[in-house]
Amino acid sequence: MERLIPAGKIQFTPAKDIAFSRLGVGFEKLDRDVFDPEKAYAMVSQIGVKKIRLQSGWMKTEQQEGVYDFSWLDQIVDKLLSLGMEPWLNLSYGNPLYTDIARVTFGAVGCPPIGTEREMQAWLNYVKAAVTHFKGRVKLYEIWNEPDCAYSWKHFDGENLAERDLRQNALEYGAFARDTALVIKEADETAEIAGFAIAHIANLEYVNNALSTGLADVIDYVSFHIYSSTDNRRAQMIKSLDSIVRAWNPRIRLFQGESGAQSRSDGHGAMKRFSWTQDKQTKMLLRTMLCDLHADIAFTSYFSTMDMIEALHGRVDNKASYLDFGYFGVISAEFDEDGRATGAYSKKPSYFALSTLAALLQGDSHAENIPYAVESLPSIRVNGYDFNGPSLQICPFRLHDGRSMIAYWNGVDILTATYEGTCSLCVYGQKNDNIHLCDLRDGTLYRLPEGMVEDLTNGGVRLKNIPLLDAPLAVIFG
């Protein structure tokens, strides 16, 4: 990057100054009181993402049968709205008033109310109350969380989850979500409904079975999660999921509701004990979110705002079972003896990467078929030739202000390799003026020196030996 000419930085844009965005972030687990939202509001609203995911907390809201106290959630929803963000609700987890296993499970995580008619009716009553209460403030509702995972679709305490019937569970979830969706529409006919929040995007059999219950007729979206240390098959997996969903109902769109990487190697949760660092987290955030946006899904959301306990396998009688800290946040914190994120919250490098994406890809920014060709020119920089191998990833976009942007990186394995080299591109339909290269990790802008840009005189430019990293960079035209 030292060959380039510094030219300032992208100006980050707070959420209240952005009309629309396909970028989001998670603000989950407040039903379990895992962090102090008051200390996080200002930071999260300054990122510039619009959509923000909350969990509705049936157990926290209904502590006496038939009595719903949404005051705790009202405060959060109203504050986020006042900051220009768009909260959406994940309707999930059980209630010990009705379901036996929820009485021993911390946060009633993964305890579906399907054992008796009384449980199911109580759930539907709660859903109707929640949607009615938030009508006009919340537009999108997601039904349950990762039901295809053993921890999140449990039938009884002590169940042998390794031997569960995945087909039967998919049919159970499909019927459960179908009936829930009908109640949501009854309470608010303008509401949008997402099914699944599926954890394993490649499990098309699960999706197919669940949709066969009639669920495909009553939802607007299928949401998916991807936790992986590699992004090389991400676009194809999204395309495959989209194909099977559209076969059931072409009106249904996809969105990515939860995906991220840890910033430390000693965390719990997805990809635990992998050799994560803050730098690797930043690279993964950029690579995966660019891939999602280029796949033209409805939106993509990063997990999460805060470092917090995972608490997916906790038991109420064993505090140690839920003091399992995860480091997925773009904001870090310390933890008290009860596992609550405390201390001085601070921004990680990933925070600035997400802010850069939010500023650039706001509004109606979208994937565009900008014509380009990859070349391999002699490159003194690497004592040979430019890189043009199959791991070279290129994602062209049309930005909200009409400019063109080409994001690119060498998709080497983030956990085991780094890369610094060069590549060359011929890009057509662009002018050789006001070209900048942006380091998406922090929004730093550079101008390209003479000799790095060649005007092709026929409506194109050749970018010669431009920097190529394993972290995404972007060439911005205009």
Give the pair of three-digit tokens for residue 192: 């949008």
In this structure, the answer to whether residues 407 and 286 fall within a common structural domain is: no
In this structure, the number of other CB atoms found within 10 A of the CB of residue 118 comes to 11
247's CB contacts (< 8 A; 6+ apart) are none
Percent of the chain with pLDDT over 70: 100
**Domain at 409, CATH number:** 2.60.40
From 295, 297, 210, select the one nearest 253 (Cα to Cα): 297
Q: Which of 360, 379, 411 is the last residue of a domain?
A: 360
What pLDDT, on the 0 to 100 scale, is given for residue 389? 97
What pLDDT, on the 0 to 100 scale, is given for residue 457? 83
What pLDDT, on the 0 to 100 scale, is given for residue 432? 82
Confidence of residue 163 (pLDDT cuts 50, 70, 90): confident
pLDDT of 302-358, one tens digit each?
999 999 999 888 999 999 999 999 999 999 999 999 999 998 899 999 999 999 999
- Can you spell out the DSSP letters for 38-67? GGTHHHHHHH---EEEEE--HHHH-SBTTB
Give the pair of three-digit tokens for residue 33: 């009181």
Confidence of residue 448 (pLDDT cuts 50, 70, 90): very high
- Do strands 86-91 and 51-55 pair parallel, antiparallel, or not at all (unpaired)? parallel
Map tokens 């050749």 to a residue.
Answer: 462
In a domain, 344, yes or no: yes
From 474, 476, 475, 471, select the one nearest 410 (Cα to Cα): 471
In this structure, the answer to whether residues 342 and 403 fall within a common structural domain is: no
What mean pLDDT is reported for the chain?
A: 96
- The DSSP symbol for 258 reads E
In this structure, the number of other CB atoms found within 10 A of the CB of residue 163 comes to 6
| Amino acid (one-letter) located at 123 | W
Q: Which of 343, 360, 377 is the last residue of a domain?
A: 360
What pLDDT, on the 0 to 100 scale, is given for residue 423? 98
Confidence of residue 431 (pLDDT cuts 50, 70, 90): confident
In this structure, the answer to whether residues 312 and 388 fall within a common structural domain is: no
What pLDDT, on the 0 to 100 scale, is given for residue 165? 87
Quick one: CA dihedral 60, 271, 299, 248, positive or negative?
Answer: negative
Phi, psi of 43 (to 5 degrees): -65, -45
- The DSSP symbol for 373 reads E
| Amino acid (one-letter) located at 22 | R
In a domain, 419, yes or no: yes
In this structure, the answer to whether residues 322 and 415 fall within a common structural domain is: no
What pLDDT, on the 0 to 100 scale, is given for residue 1? 85
- What are the Cα distances from residue 238, in Å, to 3, 204, 343, 357? 37, 11, 38, 20
Confidence of residue 459 (pLDDT cuts 50, 70, 90): confident
Map tokens 């009409």 to a residue.
Answer: 402
Beta bridge partners of 408: 394, 473
In this structure, the number of other CB atoms found within 10 A of the CB of residue 239 comes to 11
In a domain, 4, yes or no: no
pLDDT of 58-80, one tens digit each?
999 999 999 999 999 999 999 99
- Local structure of 153: helix, strand or coil: coil
> Would you give the distance in Å from CA 430 to the centre of its chain?
32
In this structure, the answer to whether residues 424 and 308 fall within a common structural domain is: no
What pLDDT, on the 0 to 100 scale, is given for residue 95? 98
Q: Which of 360, 391, 424 is the last residue of a domain?
A: 360
The number of distinct structural domains making up the chain is: 2
In this structure, the answer to whether residues 296 and 229 fall within a common structural domain is: yes
Average pLDDT score over residue span 71-96: 98
- Range in 192-201, 337-346, 371-380 the model is least confident about: 337-346
Average pLDDT score over residue span 375-391: 97
Q: Is 62 exposed, middle or buried (0-12, 13-18, 19+ CB in 10 A)?
A: buried
In this structure, the answer to whether residues 341 and 458 fall within a common structural domain is: no
In this structure, the number of other CB atoms found within 10 A of the CB of residue 207 comes to 27
In this structure, the answer to whether residues 353 and 370 fall within a common structural domain is: no
> Would you give the distance in Å from CA 414 to the centre of its chain?
18
In a domain, 283, yes or no: yes
In this structure, the answer to whether residues 356 and 372 fall within a common structural domain is: no
Structural domain boundaries enclosing 466:
366-477
**Domain at 199, CATH number:** 3.20.20.80
